[in-house]
């Protein structure tokens, strides 16, 4: 017998107005221009090669995170906390935050599923009361970031696997649960719940959403 209902949110461009990880990199390197010049080639090639699909998501993220290699877990999480505190008003979509609150008040379990790296998600979880967060885990050794990330990047099919896993752990009725996302790569996540919702849809996803009669919401610039 199922006891709970849940809602699963993608993060970037679903709950946020822009890409949080790119914004964090700008925030981080704006504090040290010399460091930016040193690591710029890595950042440039990561964005370009990933766009051209020459490298996979894991390799791209490790290149983008190279400037944090050697930093302690504590210092990285402090950077994440500062980023969220400073960028909160511009980063988060007001209608999205209201939607989270509405689900919480009606007794839904709330999960965040994102392929962004775990720099600031502990703070996001605590601030908004998510029950759990599935994200790209950074690998530490003796509490120092190694520059590597987990092979499980919480992307595409991995989101679906995560949802199926937590639904068993928390006795969740997926037929009465919701999933929100803006990206077609999250189609497996939409297909596994009874109430799929697409947010701020782009041209790639809008036709499919209309064909399947998914709910569509627009939260841009609100």
pLDDT digits (tens, 9 = 90+) for 142-179: 999 999 999 889 999 999 999 999 999 999 999 999 99
Query: Sorting pLDDT into bands at 50, 70 and 90, what band is 93?
Result: very high
pTM, two decimal places: 0.94
Segment 53-77 shows an average pLDDT of 96
Beta bridge partners of 6: 109
Reply yes or no on domain 6-217 having CATH 3.30.70.20: no
3-state helix, strand, coil in the chain (%, to 5): 50, 20, 30
pLDDT digits (tens, 9 = 90+) for 113-143: 999 999 999 999 999 999 999 999 999 999 9
Q: E-assigned strands of 15-170?
A: 109-117, 132-136, 138-141, 144-149
């Amino acid at each position: 017998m199922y006891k709970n209902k849940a809602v699963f949110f993608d993060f970037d461009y679903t709950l946020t107005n822009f890409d949080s990880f790119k914004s964090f990199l700008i925030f981080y390197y704006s504090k040290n221009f010399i460091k930016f010049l040193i690591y710029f080639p890595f950042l440039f090639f990561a964005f370009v090669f990933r766009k051209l699909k020459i490298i996979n998501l894991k390799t791209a993220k490790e290149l983008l995170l190279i400037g944090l290699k050697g930093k302690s877990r504590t210092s990285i999480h402090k950077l994440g906390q500062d980023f969220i505190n400073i960028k909160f008003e511009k980063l988060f979509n007001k209608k999205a935050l209201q939607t989270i609150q509405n689900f919480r008040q009606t007794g839904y379990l709330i999960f965040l599923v994102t392929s962004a790296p775990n720099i600031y998600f502990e703070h996001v979880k605590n601030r908004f009361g998510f029950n759990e967060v599935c994200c790209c885990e950074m690998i530490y050794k003796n509490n120092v970031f190694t520059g590597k990330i987990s092979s499980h990047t919480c992307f595409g099919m991995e989101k679906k696997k995560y949802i199926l896993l937590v639904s068993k752990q928390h006795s969740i009725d997926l037929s009465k649960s919701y999933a929100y996302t803006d990206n077609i790569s999250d189609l497996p996540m939409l297909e596994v719940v009874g109430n799929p919702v697409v947010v701020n849809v782009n041209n790639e996803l809008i036709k499919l959403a209309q064909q399947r009669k998914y709910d569509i919401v627009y939260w841009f610039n609100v």
